[in-house]
Chain A
Amino acid sequence: MPVIEIPVGPQHPALHEPILLRVRVRGEEVVGVDIVTGYNHRGIEWLAERNTWLKTLYIATRVCGICNLMHATCYVQALEKLNNIKLPERALALRTIAMELERLHSHMLLAAVMAEILGFESLFMLIMRDREKIMLLKELVTGNRVLSDYVWPGGVRRDIDDGIVEKIKRALDYIEKRILYYRDVYENDKLLRLRLEDIGVIKYNEALLYGLVGPTARASGVRIDVRKDTPYAWYDEVDFNMVTRKEGDCLARVLVRLEESLESIKIIRQAINKLPKGPIAALRIPPRTFRPGEAISRVEAPRGELIYHVVSRGGRTPYRVRIRTPSFTNILNSVFAYRDATLSDVPVILASFDPCISCMERIMVVDERTGEQRLEPIRKIVRKRR
């Protein structure tokens, strides 16, 4: 039987985001997948070098809509390292609460989108309805349901009062019940199991070998979580478990996320119960210049480890801001997960990595003669072609 190539995407292959999967199939069976990105490149790092330190904060926030607070916090943490700013306890606790709210809604989104891709529209609607409760909490804490613009160098920008704490507690009780229920649905529904179990298996050593991060790696049994490995914000003050599973299939990746949502609820509860009193920022307004030097900051985003490398030469603009997003490794390095799948499984496997396309628009250059692959900035390629 001949091998034919089917393009999946670039318009909305699984999620409503632009990415192209070139799937080679023999009959129904997938024999190879190439991932083509670049439909969403916005030159964020280039922009960062040309805007002031604080304007770059708002650009970093807009790298990704779903984990915008993670990007902002990661960038701000790097700046705080540069200027050696010590944060008050309350600011750290509030950051932790806001970040966990973000993880909660991101994980629920994946569970919902997964149901939609499997053709289970009513489950999608139900999860999205309950997710709206968390968006409301995020709006109460940060000021907007999606783009939080909540942190800046020195602390956070808004305080919460007892009324909001009460609302968070009440909403979390409800959400906890619902997440337990959805976990039950994913674990026990026969149709969902048929579509998810033993599909797109990633083994433990493969996850290690290809450097997968976040829930995708944890679903294969790899114990990797920045919150545990190098605690930032207030994560060393709260008690939570790292969720791992052994199976490494699509179902495990969904269940790890749902169980992590329960851990997030636990973290938020602890943080609001022992919320320290005091100021919410170390400085009234953030500094406009930062000392020369470089700083690396790591944050566990909903999809995995997020790294910002900020280089400063003093002055009003950053010299270099390098962003390394989790989706970048998770999507580009996981083509092997599609082996032995059928064509209809391809969107399911892609969605189970919870891809964030806007996070992974980097350029990969493949040298056809030597087969060598390397990452290059656009500018260099443009220069070469001239």
Chain B
Amino acid sequence: MLKLARELLKNLLRRPVTIEYGVKAKPNPTKRYRGLHIVNPDKCISCSLCAVECPTGAIKMTEITYGGKKKKIPVIDYGLCVFCYHCIDICPRKAYNISNEIPPPVFKRALLRGDPREPKPWRTEEV
């Protein structure tokens, strides 16, 4: 009991371990964290394998005009995505760019889209 009391006194002087998520701080995941990912239209060959195999059906093949040509590329709905990275690991061309960013807190789910046409697709509204 005494031992624990010493531990507790020491903790009084420490900073809190927890963070105020979404209010003051963002979690700080390691480099290896599976975060937001997005397709690189230069590498993608529109084979649709990722869209077919995605376990949650978060990937939709969408037609875009890229470099003057019409092309189908996968657009990800991060609201559905579970970040299993199956799409990344099975892609025959390794066409995905990955990051360790956590999906930000947003008011509208439609904002959570991995669309390479937008400059930073996971940009959030200023709240």
Contact = CB atoms under 8 A, between A and B. Distances in A.
Contact of B55 (A59, A136, A141, A285): A59
Contacts of A203: none
A190 B33 contact: no
Contacts of B1: 189-191
A147 B82 contact: yes
Given A58-B55, A185-B3, A139 B82 contact: no
B90 A132 contact: no
A149 B32 contact: no
Contact of A55 (B3, B4, B7, B53): B53
A88 interface: no
Interface in B1-42: 1, 3-4, 7-8, 11, 17, 29-30, 32-34
Contacts of B4: 122-123, 185, 189
B63 interface: no
Contacts of B90: 285
B82 A58 contact: yes
Contacts of A129: 17
Nearest to B84: A149
B33 A144 contact: yes
Contact of A149 (B3, B7, B85): B85
A269 interface: no
A149 B89 CA distance: 11
A144 B34 contact: yes
Contacts of B7: 126
A140 interface: yes
Interface string B79-91: 0001111100110
A254 B60 CA distance: 48
25 contacts: A51-B55, A52-B53, A55-B53, A58-B55, A58-B82, A123-B4, A126-B11, A136-B30, A139-B30, A140-B32, A141-B32, A143-B32, A143-B33, A144-B33, A144-B83, A147-B83, A149-B34, A149-B83, A157-B85, A158-B32, A164-B32, A184-B3, A185-B4, A285-B89, A285-B90
Given A144-B33, A185-B4, 10 more contacts: A51-B55, A58-B56, A122-B8, A140-B30, A143-B34, A147-B83, A147-B84, A149-B85, A189-B1, A191-B1
